[in-house]
Amino acid sequence: MFRRRMKHTQRFQEILNGFFKNGFSHFLFRIGLIERRHKKEENVNMNMKDIGMRLRKTFQELGPTFIKLGQIASSRRDLIPEEIATELEKLQDDVQSFSFSEVRSIMEAELGDSLENLLEQVNETPLATASIGQVHIAQTFAGEEVAIKIQRPDIQPTIETDLEILHDLARLLEDRFTWARTYRIREMIEEFSYSLRDELNYSVEGRNAERIANQFRDDETVHIPKIYWDLSTKKVLTMEMIHGIKVTHIDTLDEKGYDRNVIAERITNAMFVQILENGFFHGDPHPGNIYIMPNNVIAFLDFGMVGRLSDELKYNFATLIIHLQRGNIKGMIKTFTSMGLIDGTTDRDSLYRDLEHLQATYYDIALKDISLGGVIAEIFSIAYAHEVQIPNDITILGKAILTMEEIMKKLNPTFSIMKAVEPFGEKLMKARFHPKNIAKESLDQIMENAEILSELPKDMKDIASTVKKGKLHFDINVTDMQSFLKRLDRISNRLSFSIILLSFSILMVGLIIGASISGQTNLLFRIPVIEIGSVIATLMFLFMIFTIIRSGRM
């Protein structure tokens, strides 16, 4: 870590200064990045909202990497307190545009020709500016109007430097703090790095756009901009120019005679088609990325962030919502378990109580009056409290739905996303248990098991070879071992007690019956066998009882 820190000394110091001046000197001191805590902050008592505001200001000042980190972190309500997440949602790409001469230089280097030979005309004033790139309007020689996104010059080395520093900090946190290991901070930074590197590659964004466009190829109510691949590279993305009205410009929509109810229904339907039917969806449908075209056609823009749901995750998400609607708390916990989110350290009773409280909140409330985004946010909050880690794609989904509901409130306050998702969930459940799909899943399992069986002889041979070499080691880790051993000890003592009691009973009954049948006395060599045997057995019985009680494990 320290070798890399020396390599990026200047940027590392900038990051430290950013956190230090915004009131995080105590945190820097705790993790060992500064030698002493600032005296002025000794008695500062910041609440979560205050921390969120300071963190937002810090990220804003530190630039593109940290702005993106904050925006993504704001969706992780299973890991981050609500007050902080709400503040981080306010992060904006408030950056200066770069010059047209730099735009020309990048485009010509990327596309391998002069700008005059590539396009008929390019507007030198940017249409929009963001932390990673900016957009210019241009016209092709065929007369088509296009929007060209150009990546900022030399931004990639800066972001790579920041990512290396973040990886080092995550490793340091996990080494020193249990909470960092619990929430797997390094995994979070790894996921963030993967996502940000995808955003730096405009070819990935172009392919994402085409994949979603393919979902609506037969639907004229949804429009995805066309990608011009001959004018696109990793740093330049040329797409069809969209002319429409921003979805939150309600007055303009009303003036032009658009139907807000239809728009709300189409946006919601389009998102759930992406999420629950195709499992590949727009991960950031904020108002700036949704425009309304003539005839109430919905246009989605900017596919740098997308979410992916496997068939299993789609099913689990739908199951979770249906269980909540029906008040089936055990079903919700079972779904969490099947998703691998609950382990042996989770307090299931406490989790059950919190989910039961959540369900009681919505008891007897009409479906149309329930906020799906609010429900998801509360589930994430419960997950955070119980250290239940939600998959990243589910958190992206949660943020997308929350954003979508905010748009719906402006378009049509009476529109219910909860009610709109119901038919999609039911359709998904029916498809899951359709005989054809059950047969396919069974066949897949048979094939998988057949593969395991076919490799079994080789695996057994490898194990035997390892045993012969004396290199076989067992690492058994039982959660709460002391409690397990205590229970095992109690069981074994109870078994001993039962066996002795049974033996004593059989011995006494046998002697008594034998004496009765033979008509003989109970004397053997003038010794009263039954009486003495009874005394000995009774003493042994009492001794065993005393021993068990004394051990405290009766």
Shared domain check, 415 and 343: yes
Q: Buried b vs exposed e over 156-166: b needs ≥16 C-beta within 10 Å?
A: beebbbbbbbb
Is position 278 within any domain? yes
Is position 189 within any domain? yes
Is position 451 within any domain? no
pLDDT of amino acid 202: 94
Give 43's pLDDT tier (boundaries 50, 70, 90).
Answer: very low
First to last CA, the chain: 54
Residue 122 Rama label (left phi>0; alpha psi -120 to 50; beta): beta
Give 489's pLDDT tier (boundaries 50, 70, 90).
Answer: low
Average pLDDT, the chain: 78
pLDDT of amino acid 150: 96
For 257-291, the pLDDT digits (tens) are 999 999 999 999 999 999 888 989 998 888 889 99
pLDDT of amino acid 237: 96
Share of the chain above pLDDT 90, in %: 25
- With a cut of 60, say whether residue 484 has pLDDT above it: no
- With a cut of 70, say whether residue 37 has pLDDT above it: no
For 203-237, the pLDDT digits (tens) are 999 999 999 999 999 999 999 999 999 999 999 99
Domain limit, last residue, from 369, 400, 433: 433
Of 251, 248, 259, 267, whose CA–CA distance to 294 is shortest? 259
For 420-470, the pLDDT digits (tens) are 887 877 777 676 665 665 565 555 556 555 566 666 676 676 777 766 666
Share of the chain above pLDDT 70, in %: 69
Is position 38 within any domain? yes
Shared domain check, 17 and 85: yes
- With a cut of 90, say whether residue 252 has pLDDT above it: yes
Higher pLDDT, 85 or 241: 241
**Could you tell me which residues are beta bridge partners of residue 121?**
139
**Three-state SS at 306:** strand
Is position 304 within any domain? yes
Q: Which of 16-30, 117-131, 428-442 has the lowest mean pLDDT?
A: 428-442
Mean pLDDT in residue range 361-385 = 71
C-alpha distances in angstroms, 541 versus 232, 511, 535, 548? 88, 18, 10, 11
How many distinct structural domains can be found in the chain? Answer: 3
Tokens 């066949």 locate to 443
For 165-188, the pLDDT digits (tens) are 888 888 888 888 777 776 678 877
pLDDT of amino acid 42: 45
Shared domain check, 258 and 325: yes
Shared domain check, 411 and 280: yes
Higher pLDDT, 376 or 146: 146
Is position 531 within any domain? yes
d(CA 180, CA 167): 13
Shared domain check, 403 and 546: no
Shared domain check, 390 and 283: yes
For 517-537, the pLDDT digits (tens) are 555 555 555 556 566 666 666
Both tokens of 366, joined, read 């009409």
d(CA 134, CA 122): 13
Question: Cβ of 384: how many Cβ atoms within 10 Å?
Answer: 20
Phi and psi at 241, nearest 5°, equal: -80, 125
Shared domain check, 339 and 395: yes
Q: Is the dihedral of CA 148, 249, 414, 400 positive or negative?
A: positive
Q: Which domain holds residue 185?
A: 2-94+157-196
Give 502's pLDDT tier (boundaries 50, 70, 90).
Answer: low
Amino acid type, 382: I
Higher pLDDT, 541 or 123: 123
Is position 32 within any domain? yes
For 329-340, the pLDDT digits (tens) are 777 777 777 776
Is position 133 within any domain? no
Both tokens of 7, joined, read 């390599």
Shared domain check, 288 and 389: yes
d(CA 123, CA 118): 14
d(CA 42, CA 139): 60
Domain limit, last residue, from 196, 218, 243: 196
Question: Cβ of 447: how many Cβ atoms within 10 Å?
Answer: 10
Q: Which of 147-151, 347-351, 369-373 has the lowest mean pLDDT?
A: 369-373
Shared domain check, 257 and 320: yes
Whether residue 199 contacts residue 133, with contact meaning beta carbons closer than 8 Å, is answered with no
Shared domain check, 427 and 489: no
pLDDT of amino acid 213: 96
Mean pLDDT in residue range 69-74 = 78
Shared domain check, 490 and 425: no
Q: Buried b vs exposed e over 335-364: b needs ≥16 C-beta within 10 Å?
A: bbeebebbeeebeeeebeebbeebbeebee
Shared domain check, 255 and 312: yes
Q: Which of 88-92, 204-208, 286-290, 502-506 has the lowest mean pLDDT?
A: 502-506
Whether residue 388 contacts residue 352, with contact meaning beta carbons closer than 8 Å, is answered with no
